[in-house]
Amino acid sequence: MKTTYQITPLFVLHGLITISAGLSVMLLQPQSALSAEKVQLIYGPFRGKISIKSLEKYAETGEMTREFRLYSKFLDKETLIQLRYWLNNRFESDRVEVYRFTNTSEGEKFLTDLGTAIKTHPERNGLYAIRSALIEAADKPSSSDGWTIIEAMYHFPTEDLQINTRDLFKLQKFWSASDTKNQAALDTFNSKSKE
């Protein structure tokens, strides 16, 4: 036996009220803040995504997930050792120190340079997203020893963060060649290597 409904204005109104009530309950539920879950690696035409959880596991244990192993094939042993070192590096600066530094001319330059390689969108410098992530990571470190790059990645204010590895390597070479120019950043992001 087939049920038929007579579509009347009252029927439509009742349906809209039901839908509105359901949507309002969904909207009233607390939503988690948007934060990064994956890193999109860009190298020329190559684009690949890796979860921050995979990077975190590698940093903590040295173990490579299947996902991480796929990308590790493109890196030599020394680069993998350096990557793990930097992922484990703890930064002692607090929220106020990071905020103050990132609002100085040296800090703005540092973040603008870094933002050419780390972005929220291919057409936008990642300066503001990086600033936000660093301040948040420094505000809530997972350890009394400070915060890590992994924690900053989790605080990146988009689902994915895009890293142009070619540009990042260029920056690394430039910064290595001009250590004195980056002394303010080094002083602010006073880091402690995890032994």
**pLDDT tens profile 66-84:** 998 988 888 888 888 888 8
User: Is 84 within the bounds of a domain?
Assistant: yes
What's the average model confidence in pLDDT over 8-13?
A: 42
User: Is 4 within the bounds of a domain?
Assistant: no
User: Is 25 within the bounds of a domain?
Assistant: no
User: Is 102 within the bounds of a domain?
Assistant: yes
User: Is 44 within the bounds of a domain?
Assistant: yes
Question: Which residues constitute the domain of residue 168?
Answer: 38-192
HSE at residue 119, side-chain half, CA atoms within 13 A, is 14
User: Is 146 within the bounds of a domain?
Assistant: yes
Number of structural domains found in the chain: 1
Compute the mean pLDDT over every residue in the chain, rounded to the nearest whole number.
Answer: 76
In this predicted structure, what is the pLDDT of residue 20? Answer: 37
User: Is 173 within the bounds of a domain?
Assistant: yes
